[in-house]
Structure 1
Amino acid sequence: AKDSLKGRLVFTGVVGEEGSASIGTHEVLQNGPIPDCVIVCEPTNLDIAISQKGSATFNVSFKGLAAHSSQPEMGRNAIQLAADFISLHYRSFYKNFSHFRDPLLGMVSLVPVSIQGGGRNDTIPDSCSVKLNCRYPGKIKLKDIENYLINIAKNVCEKYDHCHFEVCQLTRELDWKLSEKVSFNALPFAISKNSLIVKILEKCIIEVTSRKPENIGVSYWSDAGIFGGLAKVPTVIFGPGQIEVAHGPKEYIELTQITTAAKILSSVVLRICGLKKIIA
């Protein structure tokens, strides 16, 4: 006789989680069965992440007036408009959103990540755009972020003539079998600390490490936002390593944490799926 799992275990190694709208996980959920629960393996230092910030990107574009660079007073420099916008944003954002602080995830953040405008040495640029990335807890409404950006841009343009702006959230339309279409943004997720998957994982961590793990929130984004936020599947984030060294010049994970995580995950699988005997 040999042992076999009673339940079905699916391991997925997917592409596109960073920068490609999580096309790998979307493909898994489109063509496979919806799972009963999910563990997304990301660096949590062997603690249990039960909540995660969402991620959304906004574009704010300014339209000024072109002129010869030797006659700057004849134009309206769109790069200057964007610079004024960024400066006013940094002076205003905390005052507008500091009232909300999630106990695990902290405050919402909204930071400029790119700016594009101009190009010719002899021309005052008449267009410039700023992209801002927002990391937000689930109770924050993205419409409030968009309205805030509109008000900041409006305050800038009210000071000048020949100043126009547009604010939009950058999304990607995806086919999704749970609905006709979804506008993809990286959704937040949260799960109760008393949910079954959290309690099972906690018990297995204690058995393997003799340490009670913390329930934490993470500000980075992962495919837990797809499983837990969009598909509404009970989901946790768990894994070896620390986010503080991820994507850096000295990124690493301790080997002892990798082997410990493997033992914990094996124990979780056995508890959830169980074993059955198969007669050869």
Structure 2
Amino acid sequence: MSSASIPASARGLDELLERFREDEILRISRDILAIESHRNAPGHETPVATHIRDLLAAEGIAVELREVRDGRCNVIAVLPGTGGGPRLMFNGHTDTVPPGEMPQPFAPRIIDGQLFARGACDMKAGLAAQLYAMIGLKRAGVPLAGDLIFTGVIAEEDGTSLGTLDVIENGPRADMVVVAEPSDLKVIVAHKGFDYYRVEVEGVAAHSSAPHNGVSAIYHAARIVTAVEEDLLLRGLTRSHPLLGSASLNVGAIIGHARNEAGTVLRQGPGVKPPGATVPDTCTVYMDRRRIPGETLELVKAEIDSWLADVRGQLPGLKAEAHFTPACPELPSHPPLDTDPTHPLVRECLRHAEAIAGIAPKATGVPFWSDAALFNDRLGIPAIVFGPGNIAVAHSDGECVPVHELIKATRINAALALSLLGSV
């Protein structure tokens, strides 16, 4: 790509995209995929953030690293406009899950049109598509009315979203956000939120040779789980979202034992006496509740409390309490995403995705969660999820992204920025 500016009379999308080089897009993708940035890697995300900073700085783009916690850094870049237009933010997390059993996880390679590496799908290909779009606009010298911002953030995969929360609290500010999670190049405007709950059940311990002298917390917990399936699930199914359907709930774990045998339960292994000599006097049922837009945390809490009160009324002697369980101190609750599908951000992304990639111009919703919801929920600004790759292969030992989607995502990002921010 030539660094010469496009003449004023020829400034436009076609001229911009003609200068994009697929080999460069792939090189940038491979370079960031080759850098480990999972929780067990030295420096966690900071080495890849440093690489991105250096890449953008070499292009003359204003960029900085900002420490969020324990040396872990967000990378923030701005391609400034004249100030007469809106501010668009490209956002994505720079961390990945650990390599697991994936073969050659940090040796990016293309096989049958798929780029394989840990983080290829989730979500470094999406980051590369955003980065190269910004680089292309900078090289072309296309004047923008509004700012184009890039934020590569930490700690999405560990569930805390510390990086995006830092951007929300400390800036830079934006009017619209595109989060590059894998979407198959579909434009995602809604997804479910999720929260954790636990039901703590109390029983009465007794010697297992005379169980009638005790009250099994596990037996009572089993009845609670049945009540979840037969009643609590139905209470949430009466509400629906046009893109997401109904809410959902999952019982993820049931842990019960006698308190005086807790050590035996936790240390169970070959040659260790199994628990069972005491009627269990404690049991906890763990649940996660996926809520749809319109369902508040307070509504769901009240619904669970009401349901459990009904269960207690049907089971005399049941001692059980429900508790909302914060996911983590930094992000206790994960809100849903609900962006207006008629907003210009959505309309323009749909238009370019159809023109460049042949994607049907229809906004969609997904059940998985993303940082997009935080911009939507905490700042009240429209956010969408848009990126290459299919979420079904994220975190898997065969993680990959279609090369053609990576190239098209880059072009769509550039076209979106050009049409939203406007040349002057």
| d(CA) in 2 for partners of 1:29, 1:192 | 20
Q: 1:121 aligns with which of 262, 270, 276?
A: 276
Q: Which amino acid aligns with 1:222?
A: S
Q: Structure 1 residue 198: deviation in Å?
A: 0.8
Is 2:411 the counterpart of 1:272?
Answer: no
Secondary structure at the aligned position of 1:104 is classed as coil
Superposition pairs for residues 143-158 of structure 1, below 5 Å? 143-158=298-313
Q: 1:229 aligns with which of 369, 374, 377?
A: 377
Contact 1:69 1:123 (C-alpha < 8 Å) held by counterparts: yes
| d(CA) in 1 for partners of 2:192, 2:209 | 47
Residue 23 to residue 65, structure 1, CA distance change in 2 (3 Å)? same
Q: 1:58 aligns with which of 189, 194, 197?
A: 197
| Structure with greater proportional helix content | 2
Report the aligned-residue RMSD. 2.3
| d(CA) in 1 for partners of 2:398, 2:231 | 35
Residue 242 to residue 148, structure 1, CA distance change in 2 (3 Å)? same
| d(CA) in 2 for partners of 1:105, 1:140 | 13
Q: 2:407 aligns with which of 259, 265, 275?
A: 259
Is 2:382 the counterpart of 1:240?
Answer: no
TM-score by length of 2: 0.58
Q: Which amino acid aligns with 2:356?
A: V
124-133 vs 218-227, which moves further? 124-133
Contact 2:199 2:321 (C-alpha < 8 Å) held by counterparts: yes
| d(CA) in 2 for partners of 1:195, 1:111 | 33
Greater relative contact order, per chain length (Cα 8 Å cut-off, separation 6+): 1
Contact 1:208 1:263 (C-alpha < 8 Å) held by counterparts: yes
TM-score by length of 1: 0.85
Residue 20 to residue 244, structure 1, CA distance change in 2 (3 Å)? closer
| Alignment deviations for residues 85-126 of structure 1 (CA, whole Å, 9 cap, x no partner) | 111110113432332221111000011122222134322221
240-249 vs 256-265, which moves further? 240-249
Q: Which amino acid aligns with 2:287?
A: L
Q: Percent identity?
A: 29
Q: Which amino acid aligns with 1:55?
A: F
Residue 121 to residue 195, structure 1, CA distance change in 2 (3 Å)? same
| d(CA) in 1 for partners of 2:213, 2:155 | 46
Q: Which amino acid aligns with 2:406?
A: I
| d(CA) in 2 for partners of 1:264, 1:123 | 63
Is 2:163 the counterpart of 1:15?
Answer: no
Secondary structure at the aligned position of 1:221 is classed as coil
Contact 1:54 1:187 (C-alpha < 8 Å) held by counterparts: yes
Partner of 2:178: 39
Partner of 1:28: 167
| Alignment deviations for residues 178-200 of structure 1 (CA, whole Å, 9 cap, x no partner) | xxxxx741111212222111122
**Bigger Rg, which one:** 2
Q: Structure 1 residue 236: deviation in Å?
A: 1.0
| d(CA) in 2 for partners of 1:109, 1:155 | 20
Q: Structure 1 residue 40: deviation in Å?
A: 0.8
Secondary structure at the aligned position of 1:240 is classed as coil
Residue 242 to residue 20, structure 1, CA distance change in 2 (3 Å)? closer
Contact 2:351 2:361 (C-alpha < 8 Å) held by counterparts: no
75-84 vs 111-120, which moves further? 111-120
Is 2:324 the counterpart of 1:164?
Answer: no
| Structure with greater proportional strand content | 1
Secondary structure at the aligned position of 2:285 is classed as strand
Contact 2:186 2:359 (C-alpha < 8 Å) held by counterparts: no
92-101 vs 65-74, which moves further? 92-101
Is 2:218 the counterpart of 1:79?
Answer: yes
Partner of 1:100: 239
Partner of 2:360: 212
Provide structure 2 residue ranges, at least 5 long, that are not aligned to the other structure.
6-140, 258-264, 266-274
Contact 1:16 1:24 (C-alpha < 8 Å) held by counterparts: yes
Provide structure 1 residue ranges, at least 5 long, that are not aligned to the other structure.
175-182
15-24 vs 258-267, which moves further? 15-24
Residue 110 to residue 256, structure 1, CA distance change in 2 (3 Å)? same
